[in-house]
Chain A
């Protein structure tokens, strides 16, 4: 050992020693990991590995779980929903469904709705004189409305829709469900991000997007949600929770009774079906 410490290494010896050190470290830790993984092996459902292999592996947390492995586990346990993952493509989702032995239709049916009923009911903070279009207008102090999530009604979504499914009436965009092909362009275009995706089976939706507190909403808009929670209290299915001063409807629980529509003091919750909507609200 003593000789080794004081020795002058030739280049070849030097390289060999470097390689040697790395090799020894690699072997030691490789062996350690092997032993530990044998000793602490946890029995894993084989399907879990397969499912994990099919998932996108982005570990983005978009599903609400702590990474792809967690989603794979909950899928195998039958708790999760394949559609929770926004990244994995349809083909792989089909494969997962096959592994799990469940039906998968290739994505749930859904529709787009505009979550704002403001228009003329939402007060203007100032005038806007300039180039038309919501996107342009929202660049200047986030638009002319007092409410930061109000539909500006300037029709940027109308312009982007290839099917003429959107029109602006009374200052609020409206999506015609029969013409809409669910491309989602409008939802991506809207600078206020108030066009949202809800299941096609949904009966009611919240026609407001404000997360402000009650008093601020009162000042800004007569059709704004004040987060009072009356809908949540009256929902017999406990399908409504108030998150950030706004009701969130759990469509798996909602049975479409429409109590929330009737009870809402601000008439913020609407039926998706307009005929039913008109009958109750007018």
Chain B
């Protein structure tokens, strides 16, 4: 079981990076990557939710839905679980850590509809690397860290872009898309 961990880390973080290789969770990747601080906050929020979501949905699927033959209900049940979890985390954060809650602000509720989170819960069910709950949680955690990596890299480059002269027709969003394209090409080399 432990032997697979390095492989899972490499896969989840780099070779199957959620944003740049699987193109999941593009919305926050483009929307919240204007500065490093926000991008980092968003990345961490996604990581936490991914980890906890996998922790709950994996057993739910393996021990309840699959044996009963209701595995086609996975998506609707998972959405339910993720949305509730985000809500719970938000309430807890609001009470326990006001600064973190304020730093995450609107991004936390936005994660509810982040397809990278739904993506990871689905992927661990079919991935050959994942053999148990521990593996699944690892996949979730490092998938989230991979997400953070990509979004922080992107925001760093966008900060640099703000102070560079960009050809007029490419200013703003077009150059960002090009940037994302080159990053995806680099990551697909793994």
Q: A residues near B, CB below 8 A?
A: 4-5, 17-18, 21-22, 25-26, 29-30, 32-33, 36-37, 40-42, 59, 61, 66-67, 69-70, 141-142, 148
Contacts and interface: CB of A to CB of B under 8 A. Distances in A.
Given A29-B84, A61-B106, A148-B168, 8 more contacts: A5-B68, A18-B70, A21-B65, A21-B77, A22-B76, A25-B77, A29-B80, A69-B106
Contacts of B92: 36, 40
Interface string B62-85: 001101101001001100110010
B78 to A, nearest CB: 10
Interface residues of B, number: 22
Contacts, number: 57
A29 B81 contact: yes
A4 B95 CA distance: 43
B90 to A, nearest CB: 10
Contacts of A41: 95
Residue of A37, A41, A59 contacting most chain B CB atoms (<10 Å): A37
Identify whether the interface residues of B are mostly helix, strand, loop, or mixed: helix
Contacts of B94: 40, 42
A67 B106 contact: yes
B4 interface: no
B80 A25 contact: yes
A54 to B, nearest CB: 18
Given A42-B94, A70-B105, A22 B77 contact: yes
Identify whether the interface residues of A are mostly helix, strand, loop, or mixed: helix
B87 interface: yes
B102 interface: yes
Interface string B146-179: 0000000000000000000000100000000000
Contacts of B102: 66, 70
Given A59-B106, A66-B105, A33 B87 contact: yes
Contacts of A42: 94-95
A67 B107 CA distance: 9
Contact of B88 (A17, A26, A33): A33
CB-based closest 9 A-B pairs: A66-B105, A29-B84, A40-B95, A67-B106, A36-B88, A37-B91, A40-B91, A36-B91, A142-B168
B126 interface: no
Residue of A26, A33, A141 contacting most chain B CB atoms (<10 Å): A33
Contacts of A29: 80-81, 84
Nearest to B169: A142
A48 B65 CA distance: 42
A183 B161 CA distance: 35
